[in-house]
Structure 1
């Protein structure tokens, strides 16, 4: 059900990787509402019309592309390592056939990327995953392979248990394809475009200016984030510099390659079209 009220309501992924998008957004003239959540929750809210637009999982776009338009020029991507989408495993990925891998369930994109990499890159036919009821971090400490994303992945990567290897999915994808990987896209519900035409027309420039302003003086935001997350400000700034926030032709090639592989392996029923605002 589409919301009939205003102003524009944006989903806000409550991970460090979104701070540059939102840190100076209000100062750029954005006067709407922000709703925080993990990627899987924002996917659901966007699909149900509880928010108007959001940086959401690229797989969510592929799954329901007829409901959305994409905001040009913006993404959460990597060209190589991403540092926050990590497979923790006591054995190398090529030995994970038939071995249960724990998931947090926070992101549809990363889960499907893991399956594509294990099947297409490593040739595994029996990829087994499960979202456990308990702590995934505790399972890693017991030698159970697990996929973590976002701030939880960053935290665990600083205190990796003895005997556990860390595999960066962005790096593996780039090694395999030579292309960027697009983890999240800025998606807009088609039903709100006419009602919020002016605000959406300004949003792309506002996001760009916010990113630029944050990265010109990143220490202010990094120090604030460091108080809550246990990282040093320098670690946080380095992480932001790792992320690629663009969406250019190479990114679109990487996105289409991922979607094509998802179709090949039965993770998507059809190839989505990329449609922009």
Structure 2
């Protein structure tokens, strides 16, 4: 079998995106804020549209800045509604992301005649186009797929962020109050984490789409959590699952001639369901043994 460079690049890029999302998703899950990632991934849409309108390109720095600002605003709104207005967390998330997402859709419709951007471009994405979206320098040198570089940069930034602030993230994730008593800037750490989620979302939406980023933020960490409760093992297993999801997702999409990004998330969901069934049967067997042998 000959080496397929395009397949390798797609799987590599998908793995980098899945791992980056999964690593952030671990700490979001521990904070019981997994669906806040969902809110942010939708809430950044107005920032993406405004940045796209200003720069005239979905590759512009303005898009990332706009998404980052909207991600922080969404986080602040959710936090304010929960703590000051005494609105329940799930309601705060639902109100915030639907409002900001709707504003983004309206902006797309209003600016559709000025920019080449539509809902499907933002929501779904398609990693299969990666081999033809090349980074060409001013001198005409082909450096390879642009999205692969974005995914690699995002992976380095997320990995560096977690490495540098691992202790702070761990303490504030398990017990925010204790972290505050220890003198840690809990609010700043939370905003930094949400900013990384915002950046990861906007840097990944071209490849897998904003909606599918949500699944990669939530499903791999949740699957890993079924098998281990130890943080380091949780991080390692989440990363391994990200690679497995990318490999199986690509080859199954090729087999069934379907969306690679969609198949990746389908594989993630199937792995979660299988894990849940296996663990449930394991608990049932243990419970049955205990009853039979009191």
TM bucket normalised to smaller: under 0.3
* TM-score, normalised relative to structure 2: 0.22
Return the TM-score normalized by structure 1.
0.23
Higher helix share goes to which structure? 2
Which structure has greater strand proportion?
1
Query: Computing the radius of gyration over CA atoms, which structure comes out larger, 1 or 2?
Result: 2
